[in-house]
Amino acid sequence: MRFAVETWAPEYGAPMEPEMEASDVAVDIGVELPGDAWRPLESDVTPAADVVFVDGVRRIDANVWIDDGPEPPIYGVCAAYAAGAVRCNGRADIVSALVERSLFTSARTAAIIETRHGGYGVVPTVGSAPEDLWIAIQKRMGILEGRVSAALEGSSMVIVDGPLSHHQQVDGAVGYVKSQHVHHLPPEVRGILREIPVGRRTPIFLVGGARQVFSWYLRLAAPGGPMSGVVRCEVAAVGTAAEAASVASRVTATLPRFSSDEHKDPRAPQNLYPIGGLERELRHRLGDQMLMYRALRRAAVTPVP
């Protein structure tokens, strides 16, 4: 029996779902090479010398119940979330960090919660199920990431952790998707993902839908298995396919040097070193979770004047 051990730590699930479904969004694989000519492509360009990485973190500080009348209490969560950017150009520097705290709930009577350590503004949600609130937190964090990205200047490359979504208005931003949950490639070319050498990529393909993007897969590091170290990148489909291919080649030449080692990051090699460091800094800036929990408990019985 032959088998390989994935470097990605099992407590984080799997970097590529074993039973992925095909994406229901239209895909055109022929924008750079026709499907019958697909092969791993080498990047013969110079890596970017100045790269900015953007990411966000979120945390639930407390579960709350809002009870202001004869109707049953309505569930909500008080959450803290942050977004920031780190610039790498020979050294790594945090160049932006934004932190917000909000009460996420569908309760119509919800109002800002003031504590001695800061307030939680209200973000109305459509539903009150935990998954509804978690999606709302994720969207709010994405908006904060978009604000960080839009304020960046002077970098030759901006890498956003995750799909572009809130970053499409940022000229040249590249979405970096480190865990895969759906198949974007049709079966006839999907096998290329097993064959990509380190530092090479697939041809680009056009993903349709509400937000069109040019996308490609690349391998960051030596595989622990046939799909190990494979990530997907995307850019907004605002230019030509040739322009997107040029960006894809430069990104592919640039990112492998930032890939992490498994003894330093449990999500190696996909969780890039600058992103992992930024996540740690942003979590620190969220403050102490238990301190905020106790402050919310106090505010619930003795409102802050």
Domain locations in the chain as residue ranges: 12-42+179-271, 56-155+286-305
* C-alpha distances out from residue 260 to 99, 219, 222, 269, 288, Å: 26, 13, 11, 5, 27
Return the minimum-mean-pLDDT range out of 116-130, 207-221, 234-248: 207-221
**Confidence bin at 71 (pLDDT 50/70/90):** confident
The answer to whether residue 298 scores a pLDDT higher than 90 is: yes
Q: How far apart are the first and last CA of the chain?
A: 68
For all residues of the chain together, what is the average pLDDT? 90
* Coil/strand/helix, residue 166: helix
Q: Which helix (H) or strand (E) holds 243?
A: helix 241-254
Residue 228 corresponds to which tokens in the numbers above?
Answer: 């190990």
| pLDDT band at 46; cut points 50, 70, 90 | very high
| pLDDT at res. 69 | 75
Q: Per-residue pLDDT for 181 more than 90?
A: no
Phi, psi of 303 (to 5 degrees): -55, 140
Give me the pLDDT at residue 140, please.
95
pLDDT of residue 153: 75
> How large is the average pLDDT for residues 274-301?
96
Q: In this structure, are residues 183 and 23 in contact, taking their beta carbons and an 8 Å threshold?
A: yes
Question: What pTM does this model have?
Answer: 0.91
Is the predicted pLDDT of residue 243 greater than 80, yes or no? Answer: yes
pLDDT of 226 > 80? The answer is no
Q: What pLDDT is attached to residue 208? A: 86
Q: Nearest 5 degrees, angle CA 235-CA 43-CA 56?
A: 40
Q: What is the pLDDT of residue 219?
A: 95
C-alpha span between 34 and 283 (Å, rounded): 45
Contact 211, 25 (CB under 8 A): no
Relative to beta strand 157-161, strand 173-177 is: parallel
C-alpha dihedral sign at 45, 271, 194, 180: negative
Instruction: Give me Rg for the CA atoms of the chain.
Output: 21
Banded pLDDT at 1 (limits 50, 70, 90): low
pLDDT surpassing 90 at residue 73: yes
Q: Which of 14-23, 34-43, 246-255 has the lowest mean pLDDT?
A: 14-23
pLDDT of residue 21: 72
118-169 per-position pLDDT tens digit: 999 999 999 999 999 999 999 999 999 989 988 887 778 999 999 988 766 6
Q: Give the Cα-Cα-Cα angle 12, 221, 180 (nearest 5 degrees).
A: 40
pLDDT at 266: 86
CA 122 – CA 115 distance, rounded (Å): 14
Q: In this prediction, what percent of the chain has a pLDDT beyond 90? A: 70
Q: Which helix (H) or strand (E) holds 221?
A: none
What pLDDT, in 10s, does the model give residues 259-278?
Answer: 998 888 888 899 999 999 99
Of 208, 198, 96, nearest to 152 by C-alpha is 96
**pLDDT score recorded for residue 155:** 77
Instruction: Determine if residue 172 is left, alpha or beta; phi over 0 gives left, psi from -120 to 50 gives alpha, anything else beta.
Output: left
Q: Is the peptide bond before 203 cis (omega within 30 degrees of 0)?
A: no
Backbone torsions φ then ψ of 76, nearest 5 degrees: -155, 170
